[in-house]
Chains A and B, each alone.
Chain A
């Protein structure tokens, strides 16, 4: 009987961990969403898929390579901190990269080094929000919509991201201030 109790206790612990891990993920994101600062990153969406989690659009960010003044030893996959500023048009720009965590009062983002260019004078950044999950019928259309807007330079696609203490949550992908979900939905209705 005693061993049964131990097993049951162990099971309850495991069950709690199984709930705790996703709940913790949710909580971390919810905080960033509720009290983080909003940024817009210019992007180019394309659509692949994941066998378990379905369709998403991959975001390729325009602002993804940075010149480095001090040639430190940058390693691929390493975590770095990007100091962010907003340019005149309201889009996020990377001011500088550092290995050390900036002060909390500054706007910064935790990201990874994708690859180092040449002698280490430039690095390419992998943003922690490069996937935007969409309903399976909409993901491909979203990519088409984006491609159609390409020649029109006034139409700017961008990712709407909340950032707090380096942590980020991707909220939406927009073209000219309208959610790509809404645009695709409109187009699909117009076609009917």
Chain B
């Protein structure tokens, strides 16, 4: 289907006037220019990433036959090229996103290439984490000076890698607390992006990468009181969900709302893990000393995140009726109570199963109300996942499990059929 052809046909058939036809053509022409510009940005960035990564790989070959001076020359060549490009962009091309982002990406990667080549040439020790840290610190200013979103995204990836490398590796030598400061350092840029271009693709990437990075890194806090991390994670997922439910995100497409999706998925997955009784058996058998617990990093993490969540929860609910409370946001609070009960009683397992079931049902209802097939089936999937988890619990009788499965399966058919039928009658 071609638009100019259609327009002339519509004019001939007197459906639209020539004036309207011109306006439509103008609109598509301006939009076309916009999209070609976007394509230019994407290709520019990808080109720079590929060339930059290629240089890093070439560097990693460790050319034995080149002299030290030659190697040093090649270490600084991409770095200087990147710097000159960025300087040129700042002076001449500051308004071109494509130029700005591509040049910054190139410089970002060549800083990494330069440091790695220098450390290779002199066989400088220092593990991957200290290398990443130096690299990220040298490139953080680029985010603000070049106003570059890709630099910010690369930086976020880099600091997450750094925190993971330092804490999840088998050589757990040092703490990753520095990560939180590094994260804090890039948040002002995120805020600027939110003020200036709330609808842009870069903003959407940030909306996914920031919660993802925090989710990955929160686990590095864990030390001896690992059980408490469940509280910390529940609070984190609750917090993310609440952020995803704020007025800013609420009107965006669901797939652009990383906070809400990750918060919801995270909560459900954690609940499913805890719906088995092994965790609660371990918890009861473990000696948790009050004094040790309240000084553990896990406890601090849990308290800080829970308080943040509570704060946001309070502000969001201030002017709403209690009916509008989102169930997922509530789970993180209920979990703290369940956890405390779980210290002395096994009833917590039942409670957790009840939570999953309730969330599943409420999600189905929500999907039905909003006529959203995706949400409806997400709710059904939660129930199915719960059923599958119970399938593996050998202490439930086969008959009960059988009935459970058949009824969930029928539920799937009925709700989807009903929804599709309802949509058709609406049309």
> In the complex, which residues 165-186 of chain B have their Cβ closer than 8 Å to any Cβ of chain A?
173-174
8 closest cross-chain pairs (CB), A and B: A54-B60, A170-B123, A133-B120, A29-B122, A53-B116, A135-B64, A14-B141, A15-B83
B244 contacts A by Cβ under 8 Å: no
Among residues of A, the one whose C-beta sits closest to the C-beta of B61 is A136
Total residue contacts A-B, CB cutoff 8 A = 111
A55 contacts B by Cβ under 8 Å: yes
Interchain CB contact under 8 A, A181 and B119: no
Q: A11-B86, A18-B114 are in contact. List 14 more A-B contacts (CB 8 A).
A: A10-B141, A11-B145, A14-B138, A21-B134, A22-B79, A25-B124, A26-B121, A55-B60, A131-B123, A131-B124, A134-B62, A135-B61, A138-B64, A170-B122
Interchain CB contact under 8 A, A130 and B125: yes
Q: A19-B76, A52-B56 are in contact. Are A133 and B123 (CB under 8 A)?
A: yes
A4 CA to B90 CA, complexed, in Å: 8
A128 contacts B by Cβ under 8 Å: yes
Interchain CB contact under 8 A, A52 and B128: yes
A127 CA to B83 CA, complexed, in Å: 35
**Which of A15, A54, A127, A171 has a CB less than 8 Å from the CB of B61?**
A54
B404 contacts A by Cβ under 8 Å: no
Report the minimum CB–CB distance from B87 to chain A (whole Å). Answer: 7
A130 CA to B304 CA, complexed, in Å: 40
A28 CA to B152 CA, complexed, in Å: 31
Q: A22-B114, A22-B115 are in contact. Are A54 and B59 (CB under 8 A)?
A: yes
Interchain CB contact under 8 A, A18 and B64: no
Interchain CB contact under 8 A, A53 and B123: no
Identify the B interface with A (CB < 8 A). Answer: 56, 59-64, 72, 75-76, 79-80, 83, 86-87, 90-91, 94, 111-112, 114-116, 118-125, 128, 131, 134, 138, 141-142, 145-146, 173-174
Interchain CB contact under 8 A, B173 and A77: yes
For A19, what are the chain B residues with a Cβ–Cβ distance below 8 Å?
76, 79-80, 83
19 contacts between A and B (CB under 8 A): A7-B90, A10-B141, A11-B90, A14-B145, A18-B138, A22-B76, A22-B114, A22-B115, A25-B115, A25-B124, A50-B60, A53-B119, A54-B120, A56-B62, A129-B123, A129-B125, A131-B125, A134-B64, A135-B63
For A74, what are the chain B residues with a Cβ–Cβ distance below 8 Å?
none
Q: A29-B122, A54-B61, A135-B63 are in contact. Are A22 and B128 (CB under 8 A)?
A: no
Among residues of A, the one whose C-beta sits closest to the C-beta of B174 is A77
For B142, what are the chain A residues with a Cβ–Cβ distance below 8 Å?
14
Interchain CB contact under 8 A, B90 and A8: yes
Report the minimum CB–CB distance from A70 to chain B (whole Å). Answer: 25
Report the minimum CB–CB distance from A129 to chain B (whole Å). Answer: 6
Interchain CB contact under 8 A, B62 and A54: yes
For B87, what are the chain A residues with a Cβ–Cβ distance below 8 Å?
8, 11-12, 15
Interchain CB contact under 8 A, A55 and B62: yes
For A133, what are the chain B residues with a Cβ–Cβ distance below 8 Å?
62, 120-121, 123
Q: A11-B90, A15-B83, A18-B79 are in contact. Are A25 and B62 (CB under 8 A)?
A: no
In the complex, per-residue mask of A128-156: 1 if CB is within 8 Å of any chain B CB, else 0: 11111111101000000000000000000
Interchain CB contact under 8 A, B116 and A7: no
> In the complex, which residues 155-169 of chain A have their Cβ closer than 8 Å to any Cβ of chain B?
169
For A50, what are the chain B residues with a Cβ–Cβ distance below 8 Å?
60, 128
For A135, what are the chain B residues with a Cβ–Cβ distance below 8 Å?
61-64
For B174, what are the chain A residues with a Cβ–Cβ distance below 8 Å?
77
Report the minimum CB–CB distance from B161 to chain A (whole Å). Answer: 9
Q: A21-B138, A52-B56, A129-B123 are in contact. Are A10 and B115 (CB under 8 A)?
A: no
A117 contacts B by Cβ under 8 Å: no
Report the minimum CB–CB distance from B67 to chain A (whole Å). Answer: 13
A133 CA to B388 CA, complexed, in Å: 50
Among residues of A, the one whose C-beta sits closest to the C-beta of B94 is A4
Report the minimum CB–CB distance from B146 to chain A (whole Å). Answer: 8
Report the minimum CB–CB distance from A179 to chain B (whole Å). Answer: 10
Interchain CB contact under 8 A, A52 and B112: yes
A51 contacts B by Cβ under 8 Å: yes
For A15, what are the chain B residues with a Cβ–Cβ distance below 8 Å?
83, 86-87
A129 CA to B114 CA, complexed, in Å: 20
A129 CA to B122 CA, complexed, in Å: 10
For B79, what are the chain A residues with a Cβ–Cβ distance below 8 Å?
18-19, 22
Report the minimum CB–CB distance from B90 to chain A (whole Å). Answer: 5
A10 CA to B141 CA, complexed, in Å: 9
A178 contacts B by Cβ under 8 Å: no
In the complex, per-residue mask of A80-123: 1 if CB is within 8 Å of any chain B CB, else 0: 00000000000000000000000000000000000000000000
A136 CA to B79 CA, complexed, in Å: 23
For A68, what are the chain B residues with a Cβ–Cβ distance below 8 Å?
none
A50 CA to B127 CA, complexed, in Å: 9
Report the minimum CB–CB distance from B257 to chain A (whole Å). Answer: 32
Report the minimum CB–CB distance from A14 to chain B (whole Å). Answer: 4
For A136, what are the chain B residues with a Cβ–Cβ distance below 8 Å?
60-62
A25 CA to B75 CA, complexed, in Å: 13
A170 CA to B60 CA, complexed, in Å: 18
A76 CA to B146 CA, complexed, in Å: 41
For B123, what are the chain A residues with a Cβ–Cβ distance below 8 Å?
56, 129, 131-133, 169-171
A55 CA to B60 CA, complexed, in Å: 7
Interchain CB contact under 8 A, A8 and B91: yes
Among residues of B, the one whose C-beta sits closest to the C-beta of A28 is B122
Among residues of A, the one whose C-beta sits closest to the C-beta of B86 is A11
